[in-house]
């Protein structure tokens, strides 16, 4: 039995260390069905309240090290326009983004979240929920288990992730706003489905003026502190609405990937995590799934 793990995860309710227990088998079945259908599954109160407090404190201790970025960005996380594309191409639709990360490389050695991410029990449980094996921890030293900070006024516009699978642990909710919205399975390897992506992006701009007729594909999720969300972020267009009120929204977003070698592109790393390391340059090769990255 993993002694520290039982102080972090509610193993009585969710015995992830024993994938053969009837409780976990049932949970895996439900998560797999939700992930297949909606590309997203949630497990309430996964993290114990005491551990949640430790996570909150470890993040707040390092808030001055959070890299905040404010920019105009497209759904593929680029801020540079490509005038060679048609004017209405989704890559030429830019949206406001104001968001921050405490990068994984500055976490304390004994960090609660870092410890949790490094446990095989968690990896094997997530792999079973996805019905995909093997999956790997992300080799990106900045992004692999970063804390996400959205301050009042913060907003995360529609985008796809670079990593295939993301966990979200809600640490602190804002007073209002900060709602996660997503369009399940909108793209897949070899198929960008640009027309549907464009409809969502256009629908969002239209909504300010007229109706939200193009929000048919959009689903909303409200997470409570302690909840775990498992999510297929590379294939699912998603966003977080503007943070209202005086409190920041804190989340931790550990990630898993299909390729244990790959990391973020140098452009993404610079824009989102504020720096580029030699590994981002050495491993900057085209993706095999044919999707924009």
> Would you tell me which residues interact with Fe ion (CB under 5 A)?
161, 233
154 vs 233, which CB is nearer to Fe ion? 233
5 vs 179, which CB is nearer to Fe ion? 179
For every residue of 61-105, DSSP letters joined together read HTGGG-EEEEEEE-TTS--S--TTS-TT-GGG--EEEEEEEE-GG
d(CA 271, CA 268): 5
The total of other beta-carbon atoms located within 10 Å of residue 224's CB is 10
Burial of 52 (0-12, 13-18, 19+ CB in 10 A): buried
The total of other beta-carbon atoms located within 10 Å of residue 109's CB is 6
Residue closest to 143 by CA, chosen among 118, 116, 162: 162
15 vs 233, which CB is nearer to Fe ion? 233
**Closest distance between Fe ion and the C-beta of residue 163, in Å?**
9
**Closest distance between Fe ion and the C-beta of residue 181, in Å?**
11
**Closest distance between Fe ion and the C-beta of residue 156, in Å?**
7
**Residue 235 and residue 75 in contact, taking contact as beta carbons nearer than 8 Å:** no
| Beta carbons within 8 Å of 267's beta carbon, 6+ residues apart | 77, 78
Q: CA 14 → CA 135, 191, 225, 231, distances in Å?
A: 21, 36, 17, 18
**Closest distance between Fe ion and the C-beta of residue 268, in Å?**
11
184 vs 233, which CB is nearer to Fe ion? 233
**Residue 95 and residue 157 in contact, taking contact as beta carbons nearer than 8 Å:** yes
Element (H, E) at 245: none
140 vs 161, which CB is nearer to Fe ion? 161
The runs of H, that is alpha helices, within 208-254 are none
112 vs 161, which CB is nearer to Fe ion? 161
Residue nearest to Fe ion (CB): 161
8 vs 66, which CB is nearer to Fe ion? 66
**Closest distance between Fe ion and the C-beta of residue 90, in Å?**
16
Element (H, E) at 136: strand 136-137
107 vs 182, which CB is nearer to Fe ion? 182
Give the three-class secondary structure for 168.
strand
**Closest distance between Fe ion and the C-beta of residue 234, in Å?**
9
**Closest distance between Fe ion and the C-beta of residue 131, in Å?**
21
**Closest distance between Fe ion and the C-beta of residue 14, in Å?**
24
């Amino acid at each position: 039995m993993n002694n520290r793990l039982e102080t972090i995860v509610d193993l009585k309710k969710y015995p992830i260390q024993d994938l053969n227990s009837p409780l976990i088998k049932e949970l895996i079945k439900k998560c797999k069905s939700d992930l297949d259908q909606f590309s997203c599954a949630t497990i309430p109160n996964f993290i114990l309240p005491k551990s949640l407090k430790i996570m909150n404190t470890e993040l707040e201790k390092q808030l001055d090290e959070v890299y905040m970025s404010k920019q105009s960005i497209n759904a593929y996380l680029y801020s540079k326009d490509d005038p060679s594309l048609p004017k209405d191409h989704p890559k030429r639709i830019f949206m406001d983004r104001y968001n921050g990360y405490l990068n994984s490389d500055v976490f304390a050695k004994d960090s609660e979240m870092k410890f949790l991410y490094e446990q095989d029990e968690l990896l094997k449980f997530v792999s079973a929920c996805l019905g995909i094996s093997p999956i790997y921890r992300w080799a990106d030293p900045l992004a692999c288990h970063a804390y996400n900070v959205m301050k009042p006024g913060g907003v995360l516009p529609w985008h796809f992730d670079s990593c295939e699978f993301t966990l979200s642990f809600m640490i602190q909710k804002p007073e209002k706003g900060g709602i996660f919205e997503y369009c399940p399975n909108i793209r897949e390897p070899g198929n960008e489905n640009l027309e549907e992506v464009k409809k969502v992006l256009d629908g969002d701009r239209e909504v300010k003026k007229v109706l939200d007729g193009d929000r048919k594909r959009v689903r909303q999720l409200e997470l409570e502190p302690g909840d775990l969300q498992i999510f297929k972020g590379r294939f699912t267009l998603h966003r977080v609405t503007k943070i209202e009120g005086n409190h920041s929204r804190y989340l931790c977003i550990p990630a898993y990937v299909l390729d244990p070698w790959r990391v973020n592109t140098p452009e993404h790393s610079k824009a989102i995590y504020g720096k580029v390391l030699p590994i981002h340059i050495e491993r900057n090769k085209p993706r095999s799934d044919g999707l924009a990255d």
